[in-house]
Structure 1
Amino acid sequence: MSSNRWSRDELKLAFHLYCQLPFGRLHQRNPEIIQLAGFIGRTPSALAMKLVNFASLDPAITASGRKGLGGASKLDQETWDQFHADWEGLALECERLRAGLVTATAVVVPSIEDDLTAYYIGETRQAIVEQRIKQQFFRKAVLSSYRGKCCMSGLAEPRLLLASHIVPWSQDKANRLNPANGLCLSALHDRAFDQGLIALTDEFTVILSASLRQRDEPFVREVLLPLAGRQIELPERFMPSVELLAWHRERVFVG
């Protein structure tokens, strides 16, 4: 699949992986980079360099003082723009591209479809598989951006973490898989955010609803009230969209 110049498909797969890896793991020793490099016929060091090229296009990275690696090409920028214009379509396309490469190289990789085969057939099964692909991409992209920790509590137990949508899945198709529409939250904080008991300002500080502030319970006093006015732990990449946060405050937050 490779040549001296990177193809569009190679760049899509590279950016797809970039979205799902913490910034600190964009190096040639990362097993996921080694695996994809093997599939596309690139060296792990070349793929790692390409991922850091993408980092140089990421406003959240450059705003933090990190620069990534210079030399991003016009095609790199086009790939970045394509994903931001159609997260769902490209997430599904990359899964198909990757599946084709796995088949061509005869490598056995656990499939997202494996546990669905016995229960569903036809269009229903395909719809469920695609839903799982989308959800898995969004979860990995959000959790990796937040270093695998709840941005409000610092909890790092993955079994208690959720990739929470700022604007719900059903309300905004264009941003369903956009990592800037995501927050890494514990199950408790996710529920409070989803129910409008917690919101965020444009400066990423926590607002608590009046009903929550008025509850005189030890748990609320000790765990939730201290969040008021505190800035969340910001992500390495894909800063929360202030436009989407405003939507949440206006449509979901109970004030």
Structure 2
Amino acid sequence: MSSGRWTKEQLKLAFHLYCQIPFGKLHYRTPEIAQLAELIERTPSAVAMKLVNFASLDPAITGSGRKGLGNASSADREVWDEFHADWEGLALECSRLREAIRPGQGTVSVSADSDIASGGMADFTGETRQVMTERRIKQDFFRRAVLSSYRGRCCMSNLSEPRLLVASHIVPWSKDRANRLNPSNGLCLSAIHDKAFDLGLLTLSDDLRIMVSDELKRRDEAFLNQVIIPLDGRLIEMPERFTPDLTFVRRHRSDVFVDSQRR
């Protein structure tokens, strides 16, 4: 195992992993940490320590009273800044780095019933196949980063069934290319809350309280009265990392929320 200075590539892979596992699992016994340690020829303890160094740079961690090790290097800060400036590019780069170190580690499996494989994948050109695979790599990174930040629970309903959870964009994917993969542009929502949020039937206030549209309040349906309407004014369950950026929250409220559209 290497004990020398961390390379830039190793730091990128470490931060990539930091984004995707819960804060409470930043220890050497976590399987993903052991797997990365083997890949980059470091000890699991060294990788875990590096992830905790990254935590010391995370405002969502330090702002809650938790602390990392507090001795992050200038190289750690550089990687932190690079990711925040280009989430999409670096997610792809880390996939390629893993693939270069060990073929098969950076690829995304495509099952017969996946959304990549559907629609006659065999007829797609190689270029289209690459585009679709890169899209899945990006989507997988965003989903893992958002769900791990919210401890695998819907921030509105507390639902924890992973098959019913969505990494929902605050500012839609199509409206802000630079922040498509920014975890601070994400919320962990159940499928139904995601749909309501996407349609502008729900939004958030600046203090991250849920706002239910007047349109839903007027419906007087049992399900809405039991499940959705009581959410109005309730604070979302806050993430461990990547607190929703208020710039994105305000854009959703002004551009997507249906009550705003009527004013």
TM interval, shorter chain, is over 0.9
TM-score, structure 2 length as denominator? 0.92
1:19-34 aligned within 5 A: 19-34=19-34
Q: Percent identity?
A: 64
Aligned partner of 1:189: which letter? H
1:112 aligned residue (108, 111, 125): 108
The equivalent residue for 1:97 is: 97
Provide the rounded CA distance (Å) in 2 between the counterparts of 1:213 and 1:197: 10
1:232 aligned residue (232, 236, 261): 236
Contact preservation (8 Å) 2:99, 2:105: no
Q: Tell me the SS of whatever aligns to 1:20.
A: coil
The equivalent residue for 1:246 is: 250
The equivalent residue for 1:142 is: 146
Spell out, residue by residue over 1:49-104, the C-alpha distance to the aligned partner (whole angstroms, 9 max, x if none): 0000000000000011001111100010010000000000000000000111123x
Spell out, residue by residue over 1:88-133, the C-alpha distance to the aligned partner (whole angstroms, 9 max, x if none): 0000000000111123xxxx65941444686244110000000000
The equivalent residue for 1:130 is: 134
1:11 and 1:179, CA in 2 relative to 1: closer, same or farther beyond 3 A?
A: same
Q: Tell me the SS of whatever aligns to 2:19.
A: helix
2:208 aligned residue (204, 212, 215): 204
Contact preservation (8 Å) 2:96, 2:106: no
Q: Gapped runs of 5+ residues in structure 2?
A: none
2:176 aligned residue (161, 172, 184): 172
Aligned partner of 1:112: which letter? V
The equivalent residue for 1:51 is: 51
Q: Gapped runs of 5+ residues in structure 1?
A: none
What is the root-mean-square deviation in Å for CA atoms of aligned residues?
Answer: 1.5
Provide the rounded CA distance (Å) in 2 between the counterparts of 1:66 and 1:14: 20
TM-score, structure 1 length as denominator? 0.95
Give the total of aligned pairs: 251
